[in-house]
Amino acid sequence: MSEQHQTEHSSLIKTPKQLAIVVVLAFVVPVVVIILLAQLAAGTKKSTASPAAQEEAIAKRLKPVGEVIVAAAGGAQQLRDGKTVVETACAACHATGAMNAPKIGDKAAWGKLTGRSLEALTASAIKGIRQMPARGGNPDLADVEIARAIVYMANQGGANWKEPAAPAVAAPVAVAAAPAAVAVAAAPATAGDSAKGKSVYESSCAACHTAGVAGAPKTGDKAAWAPRLKTGKDALYASVIKGKGAMPPKGGNASLADADIKAAVDYLTGLAK
């Protein structure tokens, strides 16, 4: 009877090896269970959010406290009157009659044009007609500025048109600024800025230099540019700024800064090397 009772209460661990296994399992099993539960919880949380939502959440966490806002100085662009637009963008051709452009003050030439409506003439100028590029080669001109320039030139040719008023503008909507925002004025272009030079060329120089109008050296014509390059860059800058031959000062765009003129000259001469 005593042997049977002793047998019933004997331990399952009979050897040191078994004891060691039990001790190891006592530590390992809880750790494994904890890891599995953590992975299960993470997987469940991840599966509840779409990839787009996850990316948005990450972007919000990485978003800086402040932002830099780049804005041009002077605020919104002011619409120019017809006389200003003509002097800065149209005179290169219309003051000299280059490329068969109707000359300012030529009543016969403008009399034929004023037989059409201002809307029709404006549409032609916006799209470009014959040798005149779209918007007179200046893509920055607003539709109403083009119409005003036409009215000014037509009136110089004997018409009596009224300059169109600026279109109504909706009231600005207030927008909350980002925290710690910093306003940075646009940096002025430098003479070596090839991108600026190309932009000035396309808006103010291409009308004559692309076709070689009035003796203008054609773009990329190395033979035509060779003698001019020998005079040096400073002499070329001065000629364009002051005007030379049929070319009016600053190519007919008096609003251009000297640095912009130099950038355009650098661009043109670079194409001829």
What is the predicted pLDDT for the residue at 54?
Answer: 64
Q: What pLDDT digit, counting tens, does each position of 17-52 carry?
A: 777 887 778 888 888 888 888 877 666 555 455 666
Residue 177's pLDDT is what?
47
- The phi, psi pair for 96, rounded to 5°, reads -110, -10
Mean pLDDT, rounded, for 233-244: 81
Q: What is the mean pLDDT of the chain?
A: 74
Topology (CATH) of 194-271: Cytochrome Bc1 Complex; Chain D, domain 2 (1.10.760)
Residue 69 is predicted with a pLDDT of: 44
Residues 207 and 243: beta-carbon distance below 8 Å: no
pLDDT at 232: 82
pLDDT computed for residue 191 by the predictor: 44
Other Cβ atoms less than 10 A from the Cβ of 190: the count is 13
Span 246-267, mean pLDDT?
Answer: 79
Mean pLDDT of 66-85: 63
Report d(CA 196, CA 268) in Å as an integer.
12
The arithmetic mean of pLDDT across residues 84-95, rounded, is 84
How does residue 70 score in pLDDT terms, banded at 50, 70 and 90? very low
Burial readout 242-270 (b: 16 or more C-beta within 10 A, e: otherwise)? eeeeebbbbbbbeebeebbbbbbbbbbbe
Structure tokens at 219: 């773009």
Does the domain formed by 65-187 have CATH 1.10.760.10?
yes
Q: What is the pLDDT of residue 172?
A: 54
Q: Can you give the pLDDT at residue 17?
A: 79
Return the residue matching tokens 């925002």.
181
Decide which of 42 and 255 is more confident: 255
149 pLDDT above the threshold of 70:
yes
- 183-234 pLDDT tens trace: 444 444 444 467 877 877 777 777 777 777 667 788 888 888 788 878 888 8
Residue bearing the bigger pLDDT, 104 or 98: 104
What are the pLDDT digits (tens) for 162-191?
888 887 765 555 444 444 444 444 444 444
Q: Where in the chain is the domain with CATH 1.10.760.10?
A: 65-187, 194-271
The pLDDT assigned to 138 comes to 81
Per-residue pLDDT at 79? 87
Sign of the alpha-carbon torsion through 147, 151, 153, 154: positive
Q: How far is it, in rounded angstroms, from Cα 125 to Cα 163?
A: 16
Cα dihedral across residues 78, 83, 84, 85: positive or negative? positive
pLDDT at 71: 43
pLDDT at 55 over 70: no
pLDDT over 80 at 74, yes or no: no
